[in-house]
Structure 1
C-alpha cells in the first residue's frame, strides 16, 4: 500500500491511502475530463481522421463504377407433367420448382449458353467480357463462365412465383444487355427441356393412336363384311345392350393397359436417368422403398380395384339403385384413394429428400420422387386391370349362350366399339398433350426486361464519405481513449491532487526552439559568460513576462508561505527519473528567488551528470567535488552570474564515489557555511530512484521539491520515489508539475486571456473596444 502526504495551509501532514483516493477520484469523472483527454491528444485524432478519410476518398474516387440491371421472371407451373396422360404429380411442389429454376439460372450450363449467345451478338466487340485486360490477355471460357456466375444474383420474391435476376458490370450497357441475354437463354433452355419431356409422351400417344386407327379400320371392315355376308344388320335389344356394356368394360380395360404400358415405359426412363446419376444416390434403387411406402402402394392398388368392381357391379346388377346413393359410395372410394395418394406423395418426397440424395440441383431428388410415384401407379394400374379382366370375363361368358351367327356379330360389334372408344380417347389425349406442350414452352415469362441503369450503385460516394468521416473520428477517438487507458503517466495537477500530493506549481511546457528564436537578440546582448552561451531555459530571466516565468514566481511564492513557523533556506530539487526538468526548475527557481532581493546560491549536487554549468554557460571545474576533496577553498568555488544576487556552485570534477561525498561530514559543513553566507540555497540533485544521492541530501535540507514531468513521469515511479524519500524521513514540501502542455488542456483559455490582458497593456482594451 502506497501512502501519500500532502500539506494543508499551516504545513501539517495529512495521510491518504491509495485505494481510498482512487475510489474517490473515480467517482468524480465528468464530461470535461473526457473533453480534456480528447483535446490533449487532438493531433492523434486529426491525423487518424485525415488518414482514414484520405484512404476512403482515394478508394472511392479511384474505384471503377459498378452498374446493376435487373430483370424479373415469372415461373408458371403449367403442369406439363402434373396433368399429362395419366395425371401424375410429375414436377413436384411449386416451391421445389422455383428452387430448381434458381439453381439452373446459376448453373454452369446456362452460363455457357449465355457466352455463346453473346459471342454471336452484334455488340460482341463492345462488351467488356470479350476485351483484353491490361496485359493484353483475353478471358478463357472458364474465366468468362466465372465472371457471368460471379456477377449474377438471383432472388425469389416471397409468396410469389417471381424471380429477380440482377447482373453487375462496370458498364451500364453490359449490365442490361447481359441480364436480358441470361433471361432469354434461360427461357429457351426451359422450353427445350420441357418439350423434350413431353415429346416422349407425345410419341407414345401417337404410336398408340396409329396402331388403334388400323385396328379400328380392320374391325369396321370385318363387321361390314360379316353383315353383308350373313345379311345381319343389327342385334336384338338385349344382345345390343349386353354388347354395349361389355365393349365399354373392354374399352376401359384397354385404356388401363395402355396407361400401364405408358407407366412402365416412364418407369424405365426414370430408372435410366437415375442410374446415370448413380453417384448422387447413397442407396441402391431397388432398396430405396420403405415398408410404409410399400404398404401404402398395396392399399392404393386394393382401393382402385375395389372401386372398379363396385362401379361394375352397380352398373350391371343394381341398375335401379338411386343415383345419390351411387355417387355417395363413389365419393367414399375417391376420398380414400386421394388420401392414400397424398400419403404416398409425402412419403416419396420424404424418402427422396433424405440423406440418400446429395444433388446440389435437387434433380436426383425430383427424379426419385417421380420414380416412386410412377411405381405406385404401376401397382395400382395392375390391380385395376385385374379387376376389369374379371368383369370382362364374366360378361364375355354371357355371350357364349347366343346363336353362333349372333355371337359372331356381337363380338365384331364389340371389337369395333372398343377400338372406337379407345381411338377417341387417344385422340383427345394427343390434343391435350399438344396443348400442354405449347403451354409448357411458355411457363417462363419475362415480366420486365432489364434497362440500362442511369447511375452506378458502387461506389456510393456520399455514403463512403460519410462513413469515412464517422470511422475516422471514431477510430481516432477510440485510439485516444485506448492510449489513455494504457498511459500510466501523470498529466494534470488534478491527478496529483487525487493521489494526495500537495501541488506547489504547474510549469507550462517550454518550447525551446520557439524561445531560442524569440530570445536570440537577448542572448547576443548578454554575451558569453566564461566563453559559453546561456541556454534559453533560463526563461525567468530572459522573458520575465512569459507564462512560464510567472509560473516559477508562483512556485517561489508558495514556497515562501509553506513554512510560517520557520525559515526555509535549503531546498533540494529532485525527480523520480531523468529528463523530467529538475535542473531547469532549480535554475529558474534560483533566479526567481534572486529577483526579490534574496542572496541565492544554486548548488549542482548532481555529481554524476551535472548540467547547471551548461545552463548558465560556465565551466563545471572548481566546484562541489573540488571543495569536498579539499582542492579548492570556499571563495574559489563560488561563481557569480548575470544577476548580482545569484551565485553558482558547480559540480566540479566527477568523483568515483558521489554518494560517499554527499553523505560526508564535509558536505554538512559546506551546507552550514552556505547557510551563513546566503539567504537561500537551492540544490540540484540526481533522480531519487536511480541513485541514493537525493535521499541522502534530502535529510540535510529544510525541504524537498519533487519534480513531476507531465505525460512522462509514471505514477508507479512517482509512488516509489515518494516511498524512498519517506523512508529516510525527508521533508517533502510538495510536487511541481513540469512541462504542462497548456495548449493541449481543454479549458485553459481563461488563464491565458487574463494573463495576456494584464501583462500586455492596451491589448485587452483594444480587443474590448473592437468587440
Structure 2
C-alpha cells in the first residue's frame, strides 16, 4: 500500500477511527473519574555540619555533608525512621507498607533532603510527612553522635514544613485523557488499515484496478429510491443518476468506436448487482439519443425487465426461439422514443441450450440488422453458464460490478469465464457507488434539479399497445420495406410512414 492507499483506507473507515478515538477518551476519562484521589504533602530538610567556621573547614564540611545526604535519603525508608511515626500517629500499617507512601530524594550537589508522602487524606499526608521529618532528625542525630559522648557533628533542620495539599496529585485527568486519545486514535488507524488489507470487496475504481485493466465505462451512484423507481424516466433528467447513465452511454460509444459491436450483453458476476436495471436504463439512454434500440431480456432464470417496464412476459424470447411466433409479433414498443423490448417469455427448463443455440445466434443477427443497438440482459456469470455461452454471439460484453458487495476474487472468476470463451469485454460499470467519500463517482449537473411533472409520477411506464405492422417486417432476413416510425412529441402512438427501404445486408 502506498500513501494514497493509506489515505483512502482512513477516509473509508473514518467512522471506525472516530469511534475508537472517542472510546479512548471515554476510557481515559473513566479511569480518571474512578481512580481514588491521592494527595501528596512535601517537606524539606537542610543538613548542616558543625565546624569552627574557617574556610577550609566549611569546604570540608560541605563535601562531607553532600556525601552523607545520600545515606540519609536511604535512611528515610528504614523502620528506624518509620516505626516511630507509626507509633506516634497510631497508623494501622507496618513500616514496610508505610515505606511505599514515603519518597525521599535530594538534588545533585546540595545538602537538601526532600520528603514526599502520598495518602488519600490531605491532612494525613501532611501529618505523616511532618512526623517522618521529625523522626529523621532524631535518628540522624543518634547515628552521628560520637560513642565517646558529646554532640553530633551533623544537624538536620526543617526549612519547609509540611502543609496539607489543596488539590490531589493523582489521578492526572489531563494526562489520562491525552493517553486515551492517543491510544484510541492509534487503535482506530491500525484497525482501519487492517480492515482495508483484509477486505476483499470492491468499493471503488482503485479496487477494480487490482483485478482488471478493462475500461471503466461509468459509475452509478447509490440511490435509496432506485428500488422503488428504478427507471431512468422516473428520475429528474438533470439528476446525478440520469447523468451517470448518459455518461455511460457516451463512454460505451467510445469503447465501441469502430461500431462493430451492435449488440451489447450486460451481465454481472453474481445476482443482485443491478445488471437488469443497468441494461434497461442504458437502453433507454441510447433511445433518448435518437438510436433505434431493442432491449432483450435473456435472463431466462430470473427475468426482471418485464416487471420494470410493466410489459407482458407470456410471449417473448423463448417463444421466438422455439418457433411459436415471429419476432415481429413479439417486440413491444415502450415510451415515446424508438425503443422496443423483447421480454423473456416463459421460463424454459433448458436456458443454457436455448441461449447457445443457432436460433439464438440468428435472432441476434436479425436484430442487429434492424436496430442501431441491441442491449441484452443476461444472467450472472458465476452461478450459471448462460451469459458465457451467449457472449459468443454478441459484439461486446459490459460487466456490472455491485460495489460494497462483490469480492475481487469473484470478479476475477467472472472475467476468466469470459476470457475462456474469447468474449470481447467492452468495459466495466461500477454500480451502487457512494455519493461522497473516497470511492464517490458522482456527477454534478449545471441546472435545476427539479423533477418535471411528467417524470414525477411514481408509477412505472407502460408500453404502447400499438405494435409494428406485420407487413413492415421490422426484423427481416433480407432487404425489405421498412415502415419509418416518426414519433410525435406528446403522442403515445407513433405515426407510420411507409416506403423506406432498409438494407439489412
TM over 0.5: yes
Q: Secondary structure at the match of 1:691?
A: coil
Quote the residue 1:434 is aligned against.
Answer: 149
- Find the counterpart in structure 1 of residue 447 from structure 2: 758
Q: Paired residue for 2:215?
A: 502
1:457 counterpart (163, 169, 179): 169
Deviations along 1:432-489, one digit per CA (max 9) or x if unpaired, are x221xx317x655444333333443334344444555555445434433333344444
Following superposition, the deviation at residue 503 of structure 1 comes to 1.9
Instruction: Tell me how far apart the structure 2 counterparts of residues 154 and 60 of structure 1 sit (CA, whole Å).
Output: 26
Q: Report deviation, 1:551.
A: 0.9
Residues 1:47 and 2:15 are matched in the alignment: no
Bigger CA drift: 737-746 or 57-66? 57-66
Secondary structure of residue in 2 paired with 1:718: helix
Give the superposition deviation at 1:631: 6.9
Give the C-alpha shift of residue 558 in structure 1. 1.9
Q: Which runs of 5+ in 2 are unaligned?
A: 51-63, 451-505
Task: Give the deviation of 1:169 after TM superposition.
Answer: 3.1
State whether residues 25 and 178 of structure 2, in contact with CA within 8 Å, keep that contact through their aligned partners in structure 1: no
Hey, what does 1:483 align to over in structure 2?
Answer: 195
Distance in 1, Cα, partners of 2:335 & 2:131: 94
Give the direction of change, closer, same or farther, for the CA distance of 1:111–1:575 in structure 2 (3 Å limit).
farther
Instruction: Tell me how far 1:590 sits from its aligned partner.
Output: 2.0
- Deviation at 1:642? 5.4
The residue aligned with 1:568 is 261
**Which ranges in structure 1 are unaligned for 5 or more consecutive residues?**
1-25, 79-92, 121-139, 202-432, 517-533, 762-771
Q: How many residues are paired up? A: 437
Which of 88, 93, 97 aligns to 1:117? It is 88
Change (3 A) 1:624 1:58: farther
**TM-fit CA distance, 1:656:** 4.6
RMSD value, Cα: 4.1
CA contact (8 A) 2:125 2:164 kept: yes
Alpha carbons of structure 1 residues 74 and 721: separation in structure 2 relative to 1, 3 Å: farther
| CA contact 2:433–2:439 (8 Å) conserved in 1 | no
1:545 aligns with 2:495: no
Q: Is the 8 A contact 1:535 1:614 kept in 2?
A: no
- The answer (yes or no) to whether the contact 2:28–2:176 under 8 Å persists in 1 is yes
| Post-superposition offset of 1:610 | 4.0
SS in 2 for 1:501: coil
Alpha carbons of structure 1 residues 57 and 618: separation in structure 2 relative to 1, 3 Å: farther
Taking the aligned partners of 2:78 and 2:431, their CA distance within structure 1 comes to 73
Name the SS of the counterpart of 1:744 in structure 2: coil
Change (3 A) 1:76 1:55: same
Provide the secondary structure at the position in 1 that maps to 2:23.
Answer: helix
Contact persistence 1:540–1:592 (CA under 8 A): no
Q: Equivalences for 1:367-382 in 2 at 5 Å?
A: none
Q: What's 2:128 paired with? A: 178
Distance in 2 separating the partners of 1:583 and 1:700? 19
What is the CA distance between 1:704 and its match in structure 2?
Answer: 0.5
- Highest CA radius of gyration, 1 or 2? 1
Cα distance 1:182–1:595, how it changes in 2: closer, same or farther (>3 A)? same
Is 1:56 aligned with 2:6? Answer: no
Q: Distance in 2 between matches of 1:503 and 1:456?
A: 63
Match of 1:593 in 2: 286
Kindly tell me: are residues 540 and 159 of structure 1, through their superposed partners in 2, closer, same or farther at Cα, counting changes over 3 Å?
farther
d(CA) in 1 for partners of 2:440, 2:358: 51
Taking a change above 3 Å as real, the CA distance of residues 747 and 676 of structure 1, as seen in their structure-2 partners, is closer
After superposition, residues 177-576 of structure 1 pair within 5 angstroms as 177-189=127-139, 433-435=148-150, 438-439=151-152, 443-493=155-205, 496=208, 500-510=213-223, 512=224, 515=225, 535-539=228-232, 541-576=234-269
Relative to structure 1, the CA distance from residue 100 to residue 648 in structure 2 (aligned partners, 3 Å threshold; closer, same or farther) is farther
In 2, Cα distance between equivalents of 1:188 and 1:632: 120
1:682 aligned counterpart, secondary structure: strand
| Structure 1 equivalent of residue 422 of structure 2 | 729
Aligned twin of 1:68: 40
Alignment partner, residue 299 of structure 2: 606
